Structure 1
Amino acid sequence: MWKFYKYHALGNDYLVINPQDLSCDLTPEKIKIICDRNFGIGSDGILLGPLPSNTAKFALRIFNPDGSEAEKSGNGLRIFSRYLWDMGWVNEEPFSIETAGGIVQSVIKDAGKTVQVEMGKVSFWSRDIPVVGDDREVIQEKIFLDEGIFTFCAATIGNPHCVILLDDINSDVARNFGPIFEFFPLFPNRTNVQFMKVLDRNTIQIEIWERGAGYTLASGSSSSAAAATAHKLGLCDSEITVKMPGGEILIQIKDDFNISMTGAVTKVAQGELSQELFTDI
């Protein structure tokens, strides 16, 4: 039996599993079954932690529902922070979490219902993201598809993002073109994709296709990358509300493009996974 704790952050749901509760290895095959919404519990990913760290108070591994590992997830970090609060391991003081995409600082607010995360610094440089080709800031470049020409910017906040500015966006655009951009040859590690519409100087709207997860109602790292891109292009100021199908996240951008993200977290359930779930593996 494995204990799990399920939370959602604006409709982006994760299971938190403490490695001490594992009776065997958490393999990609097991992750796929657990995250399946028909044959498992169903989630947009698994947060494995807390793990020991030499550089932060806690460490965390983040897994996508296809079994791959993600470097960083803003919603995942808010959920994991709330889990630490619920377990009584943190209080209102800031604490650090190590991820494969870097160390972040979290602060619990509103008795755990809101979490602020210092996500790190956004970079637009191709070597950091990565994007193939000459070393450059990937700003307003073009991708040519049979369906048309798309102008994009690429960014990283510990994980790769492709931001596409459009006049009109909807879920169909994300579902139809997200998979194409995720696997586009320019992005050797694949990429998260945001389709962005600027509403005013302090508000953007995005539709999201997440690498390894697919169409997603909300994403903290996607919000960070899209807001930073809007600011980089001079279309928005440094404080931006990001509207998504699942809700809103507040992004604050410093002069050096360090990002602070604030958003809600909701606890859904806790329970135990049955060993019978893995019978066919």
Structure 2
Amino acid sequence: MVAFTKGHGTGNDFIIIADPDGSLDLTPEQVAVLCDRNFGVGADGVLRVVRSSAIPEGAAALAEEPSAEWFMDYRNADGSVAEMCGNGIRVFAHYLVRSGLAELAAGSTLPIGTRAGVRDVMRSETGYQVDLGRWRLAGGEPLARAHGLPVARPGLGIDVGNPHVVVALASEQELSGLDLTMIPVLEPVPAGGANVEFVVPGEPLVRDGIGHVRMRVHERGVGETLSCGTGVAATALAVRYWAGQHAPDNWRVEVPGGTLGVRMFPAEDGEHVALSGPAQLVFTGEIELA
């Protein structure tokens, strides 16, 4: 039997499994069964809590930041490995704090290893804030086709540790009319796939110096989710890029599962993007792995 905790960040839900010494070798098939909403626990992904020293990928994290004791081994619902998860890392940090595996006092940071590098988490007014690191434009402007969208639209490739394509829509009606149970088609197809975000601006776009947008997302290896933290960051970055040099650096992004904050700020290695929002633990249990 394997003990687990269920948690979520704005409806993006995860199965958290503590495996400090790295003794549990989860197969993609086991992850897929765990995440199945009819035959398993049900989730958008699995967060394995493992010490950086106990997993091969953790060596790079410890080389980057020796105090990054914990590594977030994140798997998508289909069992595939993912580089990073913005909602997941807040839930991961909340689990570490609540379970006594780490401390996070106000004003301090908690470094967490991921396949996209070490990410620093701190407390915020809404829960937790994570520095997602330096972002970059990536992949040009692929065309995106989605069920319910009559004409293909150009997207903008954004990399925030994992790949995204952000697509602007004309209206709330277009956004609500999308059927994201079907995978959007990108042309050209990104080599490693991508999360695809569809966004409409708020009216007005900027209020009191803060940008406002709404979005829905199809996550690679998962499907449509109620929220995607890195997708929220990519969406804010794309809309700011489209809006021009006078656009704000602070954004509120509304997703089906709630609202998340995004902030862009300068750092030594270039501009970083931070994501803030809630994290909740819902229940614990045990399950037998096949």
In which range does the TM-score fall when normalised by the shorter chain?
0.7 to 0.9
Name the structure 2 match of 1:37: 37
C-alpha deviation, 1:33, in angstroms? 0.6
Q: How well do the aligned residues superpose, as a CA RMSD in angstroms?
A: 2.2
CA contact 2:12–2:44 (8 Å) conserved in 1: yes
Contact 2:184–2:218, Cα closer than 8 Å, also in 1: no
The offset of 1:25, in angstroms, is 2.2
Given the alignment, which residue of 87, 101, 108 partners 2:116? 101
* 1:75 aligns to 2:87 (yes or no): yes
User: For residues 215 and 171 of structure 1, what CA distance do their matches in structure 2 show?
Assistant: 13
How big is the shift at 1:149? 2.9
Q: Which residue of 1 aligns with 2:55?
A: none
- Tell me, yes or no, if structure 1 residue 61 matches structure 2 residue 73: yes
Aligned residue in 2 for 1:266 = 280
Give 1:232 deviation, angstroms: 1.3
Q: 3-state SS of the aligned residue for 2:152? A: strand
Q: Does 1:154 align with 2:154?
A: no
How high is the TM-score relative to the length of structure 2?
A: 0.83
Which residue does the alignment assign to 1:193? 196
Q: CA deviation at 1:198?
A: 1.2
2:135 pairs with 110, 117, 122, which one?
122
Distance 1:268 1:157, change over 3 A: same
2:144–2:167 contact (8 Å) kept in structure 1: no
Q: AA paired with 1:247?
A: G
Q: 1:23 to 1:99 in 2, by over 3 A?
A: closer
Instruction: Give distance in 2, aligned partners of 1:14 and 1:149.
Output: 32
Deviations 1:42-99 (Å, cap 9, x if unpaired)?
0110001132242341211110010101110000001001001101212222011111
Task: Provide the rounded CA distance (Å) in 2 between the counterparts of 1:171 and 1:48.
Answer: 34
Q: Give yes or no for the alignment of 1:226 onto 2:215.
A: no
Cα distance per residue 1:195-251 (max 9 Å; x no partner):
011111210110111011101111110000010111112264110000011000000
Q: Which amino acid aligns with 2:49?
A: G
Relative to structure 1, the CA distance from residue 14 to residue 21 in structure 2 (aligned partners, 3 Å threshold; closer, same or farther) is farther
| Contact map agreement 2:144 2:187 (CA 8 A) in 1 | no
**What is the Cα deviation at residue 274 of structure 1?**
2.3
Structure 1: distance between partners of 2:165 and 2:131: 21
Q: CA deviation at 1:125?
A: 3.2
2:166/2:198 contact within 8 Å kept: yes
Please say if 1:164 is aligned against 2:167.
yes
Mapped contact 2:4–2:286 kept (Cα < 8 A): yes
* 1:137-156 alpha-carbon deviations (Å, 9 max, x no partner): x25x5457994231210111
Contact kept in structure 2, 1:243 and 1:249, CA below 8 Å: yes
Unaligned runs of 5+ in 2: 53-57
TM-score, scaled to structure 1 = 0.85
Q: Aligned pair count?
A: 260
Which secondary structure does the structure 2 equivalent of 1:71 belong to? coil
Q: SS where residue 233 of structure 1 aligns?
A: helix
Can you list the C-alpha shifts for 1:17-36, whole angstroms capped at 9, x where unaligned?
11248875210110011001
CA–CA separation in structure 1 for the residues paired with 2:279 and 2:24: 29
After TM superposition, the structure 1 = structure 2 runs for residues 9-28 of structure 1, keeping only pairs within 5 Å, are 9-20=9-20, 24-28=24-28
Percent pairwise identity: 28
Judged with a 3 Å threshold, the aligned counterparts in structure 2 of structure 1 residues 29 and 206 are, in CA distance, closer, same or farther, namely same
SS class of match (1:175): coil
Aligned residue for 1:116, secondary structure, equals: strand
The answer on whether the counterparts of 2:175 and 2:200 sit within 8 Å (CA) in structure 1 is no
